[in-house]
Structure 1
Amino acid sequence: MCVIILVLNLICLKKKERKQPNQQYAMQKQRMMKIITNFQSKSKRKNNNNKTSKLNSHFIVFKNFIKNKIKQKNNKTTKHNKLDITVQHNSKTRKKL
């Protein structure tokens, strides 16, 4: 919520700066950018909770899924065979889809 407000304020400042360039607007913009970057770095430190780790693991699984599919497309010997796509899970067991 806080970041959304800061970003909206930053957009308003950019519009005002286009209309009449002023050093005051530039200083306000710099302050807003510092606040946003500080907030983002704090949130990155807090991202060690389960939700983000689950999202990251799902992303890795999806990435591996795509890599396997590309490998099979490039492999000419399995071109006529059924697709055999395996996905690696956190428990390091492999399951066929």
Structure 2
Amino acid sequence: MRNLLLELNFKLINEKVKISPIGTAKGLDGRVFKIDGEKLINNIQKNGLDIALNLNHQGGEAYGWFDRNSLELREDGIYASLELTTKGKELVENKALDI
């Protein structure tokens, strides 16, 4: 069982980011989730909205956007392209947001 729901550890431009594990995953609060990758990708693409990158799912300002059309199911999870906002780029450059 994995504890990580988002891996922001990419370093190359245009490299996709792992945004979700698949299968059984455990959240930081201890809840256990069963994530069906194909179903999740289909639901995201059906709603027609890109996915905002914000801090701790608190809403508010977006620091970047994951392109719904770039979603890719891999053996270890779901990946997507990330486009950082100006503020997101600034936070990464100043090492205030570690990606």
* TM tier, smaller: under 0.3
Q: TM-score, normalised by structure 2?
A: 0.22
Q: Which structure has more strand as a fraction of its residues?
A: 2
TM-score with structure 1 setting the length:
0.23
Structure number, greater radius of gyration: 1
Structure with greater helix share of residues: 1
> Which has the bigger relative contact order, CA under 8 A and spacing at least 6?
2
